[in-house]
Structure 1
Amino acid sequence: MQDLGVLHYILGLEIYFWKGHAFISQNRYALSMLKKFQMKNSKGIDTPMEHTVKVPIKYDEKSSVDITLYRSLIGSLIWLTVTRPNLSFCVHKLSQHMQDPKLYHWKLAKRVLGYISSTLDYGLLYKGEDLTLIAFLDSDFAGDRLDRKSTSAYTIFHGGDLVSWISKKQATISLSSCEVEYKSLTTTTKEVLWIKRLLLELKCYADEDLPIIKNDIISVQALANNLVFHARSKHIEVAHHFVREKVIGKEISLEHVEFSDCVADFLTKPLLKNVFIKMRSNLGLISKSMLIKI
């Protein structure tokens, strides 16, 4: 084996160290992608998707696009989400149309490229200041206009640094916003506990510290702490018992967070420009030029 020194570039990821912090971006990869799809000189856009956009699963439009080209673009965007979690929702939606993409979807995808061209040097900042484990979860109730399935999302931070996130359509239809959120809570709990076990093995987490999971719906916390089931909540009893077992066993702690501070919100729906920029900053997603201010 050979010591290649400090890591700076691997698989399209650029790693830059500054004052004990690590900054990970995909500047060169994003630039090559813009060149490939002839969007290098495109006009910069502030958000990857307009907040009014509703992406249907099927679109009543006869004009199709090059399927191979569309799939290539979506595949490239999926890899870019490794350091751009703010693209996860729009890529998640666009990837649902790879079987039969239309001009409508292609235009939405090109808008994402326009946003990337204006944020080429953006990446994730890792400070490693403490060892706390905090998760935020959110969901979009019946967000898909065709099958009315909901989207679950979570963001997990270790020491204030983003380490895991997801934006995924739920497998079954939910009958209430509480049920949607509770399914998200179950998924988030499993991921948080897995990360905790991994961090304990790496000696990067204090065993006595309790992971905190935050959401913006109070009824979910009430249900997790309620031993009595009502008729309207029987169908989520299994998920309830799993989460409640972890709450009683003091493996996790549930807290309420205001809607405006739930940083998983950007993974379930398009946002207004000012809200999107605030969420992006809260994730630790910054421009490389901003490092000098740290």
Structure 2
Amino acid sequence: AYLNGDLDEKIYMEPPECLEEILMDMVDNEEGEIQEAAWTMLNDMREGKNYCRLRKSLYGLKQSGRQWYLKLDEKLKKLGLKPSKSDPCVYTLDKGTEDVVILTIYVDDLCLASKNLSKLNTLKAKLKEECKMKDMGRIHYCLGLEFKYEPEEGVMHISQRKYAQEILKRFKMESCKPLSTPLDVNVKFGEPENSQNSEESNLPYRNLIGSLMYLTMGSRVDITYAVNFLSQFNSKFSEVHWKAAKRVLRYLQGTLDYKLTYRKIQDTLIGYVDADWGNCNLDRRSYSGYVFTLAGAAVTWASKKQRTVALSSVEAEYLSMSEAVKEALYLRRLLEDMGFPSEGPTRLYNDNQGAQMLIANPVYHSRTKHIDIRNQFIKQSVDDNFVEIKYLKTDEMPADFLTKPLSREKMLFCSQMSGVG
């Protein structure tokens, strides 16, 4: 893909050692302009001009990815596709109609979706005329994600079973005994120290956390908190952290069949947001978590340690809520760009009554004035009818498993409410 990009700058490179042999072969076997160009370059090399000016981008150039995108963007626009303002890698054709075509890009992998199969095939034929490409048919496997479509039921499953099995095999845990939760509910670690034990320092802890992170980005909402929590020890870890990370693998062993299941229901975006105040015993920073569902399952989620220490549970909830509101605004714009504008405000559920009352009656107070900017941002989003903040009891909060370790029963509940299972 990167070899197709045009270069705006003058970039020179040293020729590879085998170039002279290649040029001699071209002189002997080619004809016309190619032979003439090869002969000219060969003479230049023999005169000591041992450098080449690039006419196209190459792998390794820092601008290659951008130049490839610009080339592809030009070709897609030529075919009538329009990029999303919210995500430049999402394109639409005939937005606002029943036959809208949605196209997404990941480097040189393109995925297309439409209700009109004939229109989809016509676009693919035009794309083949513009680019050398291979039609892989109906999507089954892409970027480590497995897709299973049941048209009769109107159901789409997205999973990462194969990738999870590869992780278990890579870390020699394919025969481990499964557990029902990714983290012990009482897990607490002391101040991390650099291990003096050579065996501990050589543990592939960072490799394991990195592998698990890719699972959390694709379909495994249920291990997002556990992986994020363990990642804070990437620079300083010991045997206890390694055992905790392997516990996540044991949980994976028992949940290999977990998948996100989307159905022809719930065409409205719904968000759930939660915070666990001061739950990190190392620095007393709180954890934020949110999950948005559409068509019966999660479409985006996050679990992060807050950057500052919250002075109250209301403040922790506000910090978390402001991040969720930002995500809600982005998702609304993205859906509108694809031709599916939201009708009315996006409901965002939280379980903190103090935060709920502060939004309803934003009284200036010395205990809340330091979070006034976030308060005003949330209030403005509510007043503009973009979001609607609703209260939901803690026992019914699906985002709870994105802020803390939970029991087996609560993990199952949150997973099911997020469409994972």
TM over 0.5: yes
Q: Classify the secondary structure of the residue corresponding to 2:163.
A: helix
The counterpart of 1:114, out of the listed 228, 247, 250, is 250
After superposition, the Cα gap between the structure-2 partners of 1:124 and 1:276, relative to the gap in structure 1 and judged at 3 Å, is same
Gaps of 5+ in 1: 287-294
- Which deviates more, 56-65 or 46-55? 56-65
Contact 2:180 2:251 in 1 (8 A): yes
Q: Distance in 2 between matches of 1:230 and 1:152?
A: 24
Letter in 2 for 1:15: F
Q: Distance in 2 between matches of 1:157 and 1:94?
A: 26
The counterpart of 1:262, out of the listed 397, 408, 411, is 397
Gaps of 5+ in 2: 1-132
After superposition, the Cα gap between the structure-2 partners of 1:264 and 1:203, relative to the gap in structure 1 and judged at 3 Å, is same
Letter in 1 for 2:141: Y
Spell out the pairing of 1:168-183 with structure 2 (5 A cutoff). 168-183=304-319
- Which deviates more, 273-282 or 85-94? 273-282
2:138 is aligned to 6
Q: Distance in 1 between matches of 2:395 and 2:202?
A: 38
After superposition, the Cα gap between the structure-2 partners of 1:108 and 1:218, relative to the gap in structure 1 and judged at 3 Å, is same
Spell out the pairing of 1:102-251 with structure 2 (5 A cutoff). 102-206=238-342, 208-251=343-386
1:71 is aligned to 206
Relative to the length of structure 2, the TM-score reads 0.65
After superposition, the Cα gap between the structure-2 partners of 1:198 and 1:128, relative to the gap in structure 1 and judged at 3 Å, is farther
Note the C-alpha offset of 1:56: 4.2
Letter in 2 for 1:231: S
After superposition, the Cα gap between the structure-2 partners of 1:15 and 1:161, relative to the gap in structure 1 and judged at 3 Å, is same
Identity, in percent, stands at 38
Letter in 1 for 2:389: L
1:33 is aligned to 167
Note the C-alpha offset of 1:68: 6.1
Letter in 2 for 1:134: I
After superposition, the Cα gap between the structure-2 partners of 1:90 and 1:57, relative to the gap in structure 1 and judged at 3 Å, is farther
Spell out the pairing of 1:79-90 with structure 2 (5 A cutoff). 79-81=214-216, 82-90=218-226
- Between the two proteins, the alignment pairs up a number of residues equal to 285
2:388 is aligned to 253
After superposition, the Cα gap between the structure-2 partners of 1:132 and 1:169, relative to the gap in structure 1 and judged at 3 Å, is same
Relative to the length of structure 1, the TM-score reads 0.92
Contact 1:57 1:97 in 2 (8 A): no
Note the C-alpha offset of 1:96: 0.7
Query: Which has the greater radius of gyration?
Result: 2
Are 2:148 and 1:16 aligned?
yes
Q: Distance in 1 between matches of 2:346 and 2:403?
A: 23
Q: Classify the secondary structure of the residue corresponding to 1:146.
A: coil
Q: Distance in 2 between matches of 1:177 and 1:100?
A: 29
Q: Distance in 1 between matches of 2:346 and 2:189?
A: 35
Contact 1:67 1:98 in 2 (8 A): no
After superposition, the Cα gap between the structure-2 partners of 1:94 and 1:227, relative to the gap in structure 1 and judged at 3 Å, is closer
Contact 1:57 1:96 in 2 (8 A): no
Tell me which stretches of 4 or more aligned residues in structure 1 moved more than 3 Å. 59-64
Q: CA RMSD in A?
A: 1.6
Note the C-alpha offset of 1:249: 1.6
- For 1:195-253, what per-residue CA distance to the aligned partner results, in whole angstroms no more than 9, with x for missing partners? 001001112233x3210011011111111122421111111111111111111121111
